[in-house]
Amino acid sequence: MDSTNVSELVLDLPPMLRFYKDGRVERLMGTEIVPPSFDPKTNVESKDIIYSPEHNLSVRLYLPKNTQQNQKLPLVVYIHGGGFVIETAFSPTYHNFVNTLASEANIIAVSVDYRRAPEHYVPAAYDDSWTALKWIASHFNGEGPEDWLNRHADFERVFFSGDSAGANIAHRMAIKHGHEEKLEMLNVKGMILCHPYFWGSEIVTGETDDLSKRAMIGGLWQMVCPNSSGVDDPWINPGQDSNLGRLGCARVQVFVSDMDLLRGRGWYYAQKVRESGWSGDLEVIDFKGEDHVFHLFKPTCEKAVAMFKRIGSFINLDG
């Protein structure tokens, strides 16, 4: 890197990305994409479908190959992470993850791609994900544009899920569904948040007091949402949201890991949801000795396998 770039660097988040003063972003990972395919390891087939012609955005659908004709499966809407900046629904990391999830939980999955910052600041990612949900809901009567959803999606068993920034987005979708613009066609049974990217100005229990680390995490939010009021904006700090008790689902599962800088905030989120008046069931699963989104990078390790099983049990709790 030359001296000019060094002087222009305003946020360095290795190994993810670098932001520069002139608005440029250097994506250091999450740029590779793979096509949809049949995956023989999981026996899951996938395909891409455009849901937003206006922005040329697609979802990737996943269906276990052994699904019988017109068999209904729980529907999981998955939203990828990456700090609102890196990764896509089509990266090898997420393609492999959702293949495994679809196989382990025996679900039909819709993995949502969305516009990323800084080219498109938040709330673009929220807006796109909501557009995808409305497109999905258009299939509830079996007359939507995509046959897999018409034939196999059980709209009485819908789940929102995501990791890191994607978990943040999934939470926003549950709030919007429960409070602002309910999608009557979808019965959202639950939400699965993996290492959610939430933050705030006050240090909560179990959270780092290292000012440089706090500035790094909060600085990312300021970069992706420059018009925000800051890290106590309800979009990044749900504890400040007066509508938190109106989550549009009956069950929530939150995963945290003890080496993750966001761990304390995940526990705090659970606490605030429980205190909000929301009447559903919430569980937090805390993995020891693991870091942020470890399951994406070590999907076959013992704890990642256990995580998949816990998610599958959560989804299929009601049969």
Catalytic residues: 164
Query: Cβ distance 265 to 200 under 8 Å?
Result: yes
The long-range contacts involving 6-10, CB below 8 angstroms and separated by at least 24 positions, are 10/223
- In this structure, what DSSP letter does residue 177 have? I
The two structure tokens encoding residue 6 = 């060094």
CA 319, CA 254: separation in Å to the nearest integer?
Answer: 21
Query: Cβ distance 285 to 311 under 8 Å?
Result: no
Contacts of 225 (CB under 8 A, 6+ apart): 84, 117, 121, 122, 123, 233, 235, 236
Contacts of 309 (CB under 8 A, 6+ apart): 104
Instruction: Please count the residues of the chain.
Output: 319
- In this structure, what DSSP letter does residue 227 have? T
CA 156, CA 140: separation in Å to the nearest integer?
Answer: 9
Query: Cβ distance 267 to 64 under 8 Å?
Result: no
Where are the alpha helices (H) located in the chain, listed in sequence order? 3-8, 92-105, 124-137, 147-152, 165-175, 211-224, 263-275, 294-297, 302-315
